[in-house]
Amino acid sequence: MKLVYDCSVTSLRRRPKSEPVRSLDFAAQTYTASGVSKSFSDVLTLSRASTGYSVAASGLLVSQAANTTRFDYAPTTGAPLGLLKEAAATNLLLNSTNFSAPVWGSAAIAMTSGQSAPDGSLTAFKLSPTATSGLHRIWQGVVRHCRSKIYAIRLAEGGGVALRLC
């Protein structure tokens, strides 16, 4: 993503042609102000109340401290995707990374822990059906919900997933 803008105000009918006041190339991570190279923090400020995650050039999911810039990369190629900007979100699930915790229910599913996770650790679970037919599922009752909100679920790699939010 590349953002080039000019915010100058002048009394002239036509502004003389010049370079843009700011040029922000998030993919290449190059920034200029009035034609002079600058660091990211010199041209833009940001805030985030908590830690956040992004995909590093290595393809691994990495944690970033609060109020720091997150640049995202394509997980399979390592190609830079640019600045990562997300809306605030809250995880409503308890123990969302531990499917063997008592808050999770399951039916016709075998859970194998110690699998490779997106961050490179061995904390993921492999979910496998234990029968050839029927309903295979895991669930957790979420008490806090509202019909006017949009809920999303993110699953890393894997086969087909049927998702029902109700």
Q: For position 11, what pLDDT does the model report?
A: 45
Confidence of residue 148 (pLDDT cuts 50, 70, 90): low
143 vs 37 pLDDT, higher one: 37
CA dist 152 and 130 (Å) reads 27
For 37-68, the pLDDT digits (tens) are: 988 888 878 888 888 889 999 989 899 999 88
Q: For position 147, what pLDDT does the model report?
A: 60
CA dist 127 and 100 (Å) reads 11
User: What's the Rg (C-alpha) of the chain?
Assistant: 23
User: Full-prediction pTM beyond 0.75?
Assistant: no
Compute the CA torsion angle 25, 46, 152, 105 (nearest 10 deg). Answer: 130
Check whether 21 has a pLDDT greater than 70.
yes
Q: Which of 17-21, 33-37, 74-78, 122-126 has the lowest mean pLDDT?
A: 17-21
Check whether 26 has a pLDDT greater than 70.
yes
Contacts (Cβ under 8 Å, ≥6 apart) of 162: none
Domains of the chain: which residue ranges?
A: 1-45, 93-157
